[in-house]
């Protein structure tokens, strides 16, 4: 059958339409695949070498979303068996060997094909900072043993280093705000926008040897030594941050006991923060080894002492307050304690590490008021040792110290940092945020591996989206034009 001229033109137009549409569709699908389909997952490993123990964390994130918010997730949290690295001063090799169990777990989580491309870091905090201050050669030996052990792993080991206290606080702040999605948001048009700064969360960290406070103040930071500035997702963030060595939970307990020991006129020390009915014999050798403990007039003391609890929260608070120098800040609205500059606390806060563990034990992590927290801790301190043991079924090795820790936290947060009945509700005591353990490790990894790049990925994503939209528009317009032409041909009168 022979086609007429009009039918031939119509057929040719439809053929060109189909070919153009198919070609464009292929290009769109290729571009859309780049934008929409999941890509390879990347991994990172960070070890937190704290004063009381070491933890290993494995993080993962989609490779094509490294500038997005909340894409990093925690794949593994492993607590290393044994004490903190600083406890291996007399046997450095054991410090390295202690990490092998958690390292094996990390290698099992990360695909073998990605081992060599996976960065791994170890950051040591206040425990090792104190050991470095006391005996630098012992600290160096521990770092050498750890470096050797981790260097044998088939990962991209970036080294082990001493993490300054200020960085510890600042990285913890990054972690919380990153996980909560408060640092950046992607708009509908594909552009990165900065959330209102008022939504950012402050960080309160209580470790074994030090404590840190970090937040965005209401005005400029007057003491620049307490200021940290970051460029995150292309936006500048300036925070107040300070770390207090020797004010961590373990060192506070040591300092408190040493203070009572040195004031005791006999071999029996009465401890107001221990529950009535508690009694134990303690060795003094380890107590006075810490650089945080100021030993005076020890010749009259025997190597061992009997410590007896009295369960007196009022006397306990009085003894704890003597660990601070509050008089150095009298009359100053921008001072915490020990003469340290601090602007007034502002905004919501997450309190983690020992802040959380202590208040979790005391059932004070559900938004209770300051008055309720005070009453709860005081009532707990007044319980007898038998009552406390029976309630806990003897399962908690820290049982003896929760009274002192609870009263210390209240003193630190209220008398030290300046929280009040009004601002206390702004504190959330948390272990995790959005399924991720809170601490400095994620912020440390993001900072050192540059996992928080500038806007390049966002620009690429916006361009990709633009190409995709342009392609769809082209197809629609082309089809519309050709179909219009076809309709016109069909309506022509026959010859």
Specify the range with the lowest mean pLDDT, choosing from 22-36, 301-315, 384-398.
22-36
Class of residue 190 by CB neighbours under 10 A (exposed 0-12, middle 13-18, buried 19+): middle
Confidence at residue 34, expressed as pLDDT on a 0 to 100 scale? 38
Q: Where are the domains of the chain?
A: 5-32+458-491, 249-433
CATH of 249-433, one of 3.90.45.10, 3.30.420.150, 3.40.190.10, 3.40.50.2020: 3.30.420.150
Specify the range with the lowest mean pLDDT, choosing from 8-17, 116-125, 411-420.
8-17
398 CB-near residues (< 8 Å, 6+ apart): 361, 405
Computed on alpha carbons and rounded to an integer, the radius of gyration of the chain in Å comes to 31
The secondary structure of 115-160 as a DSSP string is GGG-EEEEEE-HHHHHHHHH-HHHHHHHHHHHHHHHHTSSSEEEEE
Confidence at residue 64, expressed as pLDDT on a 0 to 100 scale? 59
Specify the range with the lowest mean pLDDT, choosing from 59-63, 94-98, 380-384.
59-63
- Is the torsion defined by CA of 357, 363, 367, 373 positive or negative? negative
CB atoms within 10 A of CB 213: 29
Is the per-residue pLDDT at 183 higher than 90? no
Mean of per-residue pLDDT scores for the chain: 83
User: Between these two residues, 370 and 305, which has the higher pLDDT value?
Assistant: 370
Confidence at residue 36, expressed as pLDDT on a 0 to 100 scale? 40
> With bands split at pLDDT 50, 70 and 90, how would you rate the model's confidence at 70?
very low
Residues that are catalytic: 168
> With bands split at pLDDT 50, 70 and 90, how would you rate the model's confidence at 229?
very high
In a 3-state reduction of DSSP, which class is residue 382?
coil
Q: What is the DSSP letter of 414?
A: I
Task: State the Cα–Cα distance between residues 441 and 454, nearest whole angstrom.
Answer: 21
Confidence at residue 236, expressed as pLDDT on a 0 to 100 scale? 84
Is the per-residue pLDDT at 389 higher than 90? yes
Instruction: For the chain, give the percent of residues with pLDDT over 90.
Output: 61
Is the per-residue pLDDT at 449 higher than 80? no
Is the per-residue pLDDT at 383 higher than 60? yes
Task: Kindly state the average pLDDT of the residues 157-179.
Answer: 93
Confidence at residue 299, expressed as pLDDT on a 0 to 100 scale? 52
Task: Kindly state the average pLDDT of the residues 122-151.
Answer: 95
- Cβ atoms of residues 383 and 402 within 8 Å: no
Ramachandran angles phi, psi of 81, nearest 5°? -70, 135
Confidence at residue 397, expressed as pLDDT on a 0 to 100 scale? 81
Confidence at residue 286, expressed as pLDDT on a 0 to 100 scale? 77
Confidence at residue 158, expressed as pLDDT on a 0 to 100 scale? 92
Is the per-residue pLDDT at 453 higher than 80? no
Confidence at residue 450, expressed as pLDDT on a 0 to 100 scale? 59
Is the per-residue pLDDT at 471 higher than 70? no
- Cβ atoms of residues 261 and 242 within 8 Å: no
Is the per-residue pLDDT at 322 higher than 80? yes
Residue with tokens 């009009």: 6
């Amino acid at each position: 059958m022979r086609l007429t001229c009009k039918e031939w033109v119509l057929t040719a137009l439809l053929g060109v339409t189909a070919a153009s549409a198919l070609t464009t569709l292929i290009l769109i699908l290729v571009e859309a695949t780049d934008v929409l389909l999941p890509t390879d997952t990347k991994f990172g490993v960070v070890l937190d070498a704290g004063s009381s123990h070491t933890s290993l964390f494995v993080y993962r994130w989609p490779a094509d979303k490294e500038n997005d918010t909340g894409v990093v997730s925690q794949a593994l949290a492993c607590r290393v068996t044994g004490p903190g690295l600083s406890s291996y001063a007399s046997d450095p090799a054991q410090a390295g060997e202690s990490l092998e169990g958690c390292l094996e777990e990390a290698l099992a989580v990360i695909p073998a094909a990605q081992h060599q491309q996976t960065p791994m870091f170890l950051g040591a905090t206040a425990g090792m900072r104190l050991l470095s201050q006391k005996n630098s050669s012992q600290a160096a030996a521990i770092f050498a043993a750890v470096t050797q052990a981790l260097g044998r792993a088939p990962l991209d080991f970036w080294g082990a280093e001493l993490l300054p206290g200020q960085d510890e606080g600042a990285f913890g702040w990054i972690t919380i705000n990153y996980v909560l999605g408060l640092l950046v948001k992607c708009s509908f048009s594909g552009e990165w926008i900065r959330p209102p700064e008022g939504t950012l969360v402050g960080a309160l960290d209580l470790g074994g040897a030090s404590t840190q406070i970090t937040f965005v103040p209401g005005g400029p930071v007057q003491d620049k030594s307490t200021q940290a500035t970051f460029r995150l997702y292309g936006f500048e963030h300036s925070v107040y941050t300070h770390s207090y060595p020797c004010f961590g939970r373990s060192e506070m307990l040591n300092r408190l006991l040493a203070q009572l020991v040195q004031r005791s006129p006999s071999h029996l020390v009465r401890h107001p923060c221990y529950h009535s009915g508690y009694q134990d014999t303690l060795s003094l050798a380890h107590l006075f080894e810490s650089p945080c403990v100021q030993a005076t007039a020890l010749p009259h003391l025997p190597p061992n002492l009997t410590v007896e609890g009295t369960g007196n929260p009022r006397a306990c608070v009085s003894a704890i307050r003597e660990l601070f120098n509050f008089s150095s800040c009298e009359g100053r609205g921008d001072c915490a304690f020990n003469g340290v500059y601090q602007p007034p606390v502002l905004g919501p806060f997450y309190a983690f590490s020992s802040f959380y563990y202590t208040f979790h034990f005391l059932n004070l992590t559900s938004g209770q008021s300051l008055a309720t927290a005070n009453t709860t801790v005081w009532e707990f301190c007044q319980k007898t040792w038998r009552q406390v043991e029976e309630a806990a079924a003897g399962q908690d090795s820290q049982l003896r110290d929760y009274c002192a820790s609870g009263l210390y936290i209240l003193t630190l947060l209220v008398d030290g940092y300046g929280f009040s009945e009004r601002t206390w509700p702004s504190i959330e005591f948390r272990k995790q945020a959005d399924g991720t353990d809170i601490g400095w490790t994620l912020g440390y990894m993001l900072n050192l591996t540059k996992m928080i790049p500038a806007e390049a990925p966002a620009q690429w994503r916006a361009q990709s989206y633009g190409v995709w939209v342009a392609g769809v528009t082209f197809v629609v317009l082309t089809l519309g034009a050709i179909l219009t032409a076809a309709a016109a041909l069909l309506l022509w009168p026959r010859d």
